[in-house]
């Protein structure tokens, strides 16, 4: 059940269950299913079966499985499912570092580590908070729809920046980026909201990317080419710096 405590000593209970479908996707599934039913009623079987298959795909795309979120101070949790395609030292976007006149804190303009997670159309597209705290900024920027796997997508594509203040002097920023097929970023939070680590904060429709700007003083614990799971994979731990290597087999 959502909210239950489970640990590495066997506390709690877990069992397999069908993932629910997020409300954002139910309307699309209903529309396509209605079209499939109409086609079947009209005797257009060649159209009805593909529409029925499309209904299954739409519902699967908007699936919203439960996640067991690791708990602990300084843990940065993956905000998206997908493939780690870039790990770079960069300056965070201006929207996350500038003084916006509100008096709220901003990211340091110094160089930080950015971890980019590419979501294919087969990945879960619900995005989650990388750390718990207060949402300080939610900034939407219109732009292009380049392949989200490209480095320049971070600066040119339609995107939405989210900045979370943990309340202990730590800030974490991440950016939802639309891609070739994605055409809408849907936020679930607004400035002032208090979120827990791993809490749902938004989604991007149909293939996209999320960039995470790690707090200063930590390295990425995930490797280039690694698959990560939103709300479960630990991307970094504040104060922990090390070099890890992996072997593609």
Spell out the per-residue pLDDT of the chain, length 249, in tens. 567 888 888 888 888 888 888 888 888 889 999 999 999 988 888 999 999 999 998 898 889 999 999 998 899 999 999 999 999 999 999 899 988 877 788 888 888 899 999 998 889 889 999 999 999 999 998 866 565 555 555 666 788 999 999 988 889 999 998 866 555 788 899 999 999 999 999 988 766 889 999 988 888 999 999 999 999 999 999 888 888 888 888
Q: What is the pLDDT of residue 248?
A: 82
Q: What is the pLDDT of residue 13?
A: 84
Q: What is the pLDDT of residue 108?
A: 85
Q: Is 181 exposed, middle or buried (0-12, 13-18, 19+ CB in 10 A)?
A: middle
The residue written with tokens 């499939």 in the block is 36
- Active-site residue among 20, 102, 168, 208? 208
Gap between the Cα atoms of 8 and 100, Å rounded? 43
Q: What is the pLDDT of residue 33?
A: 93
Q: What is the pLDDT of residue 37?
A: 94
Q: What is the pLDDT of residue 109?
A: 86
Q: Say if CB 152 and CB 167 are below 8 A apart.
A: no
For residue 234, the Cα-to-chain-centroid distance in whole angstroms is 13
Does the annotation count 208 as an active-site position? yes
3-state secondary structure 4-55: CCCCCCCCCCCCCCCCEECHHHHHHHHHHHHHHHHHHHCCCHHHHHHHHHHH
Q: What is the pLDDT of residue 116?
A: 95
Q: What is the pLDDT of residue 185?
A: 85
Q: What is the pLDDT of residue 145?
A: 59
Q: What is the pLDDT of residue 89?
A: 92
For residue 223, the Cα-to-chain-centroid distance in whole angstroms is 17
Q: What is the pLDDT of residue 186?
A: 86
What angle is formed at CA 129 by the lines to CA 148 and CA 121, rounded to 5 degrees?
A: 35
């Amino acid at each position: 059940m959502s909210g239950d405590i489970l640990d590495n000593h066997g506390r709690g209970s877990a069992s397999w269950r069908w993932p629910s479908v997020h409300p954002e996707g139910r309307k699309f599934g209903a529309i396509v299913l209605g079209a499939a039913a109409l086609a079947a009623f009209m005797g257009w079987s060649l159209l009805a079966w593909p529409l029925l298959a499309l209904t299954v795909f739409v519902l699967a795309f908007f699936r919203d499985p439960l996640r067991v979120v690791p708990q602990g101070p300084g843990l940065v949790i993956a905000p998206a499912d997908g493939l780690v395609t870039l790990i770079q030292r960069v300056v965070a976007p201006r929207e996350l570092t500038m003084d916006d006149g509100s008096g709220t804190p901003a990211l340091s303009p110094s160089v930080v580590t950015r971890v980019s997670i590419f979501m294919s159309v087969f990945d879960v597209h619900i995005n989650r908070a990388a750390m718990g705290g207060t949402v300080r900024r939610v900034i939407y920027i219109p732009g292009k729809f380049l392949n989200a796997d490209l480095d320049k997508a971070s600066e040119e594509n339609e995107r939405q920046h989210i900045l979370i203040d943990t309340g202990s002097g730590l800030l974490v920023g991440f950016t939802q980026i639309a891609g070739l097929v994605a055409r809408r970023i849907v936020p679930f939070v607004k400035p002032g909201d208090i979120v827990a680590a791993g809490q749902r904060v938004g989604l991007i429709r149909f293939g996209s990317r999320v960039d995470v700007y790690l707090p200063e003083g930590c390295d990425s614990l995930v490797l280039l080419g690694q698959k990560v799971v939103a709300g479960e994979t630990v991307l970094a731990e504040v104060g922990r710096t090390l070099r890890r290597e992996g072997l593609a087999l």
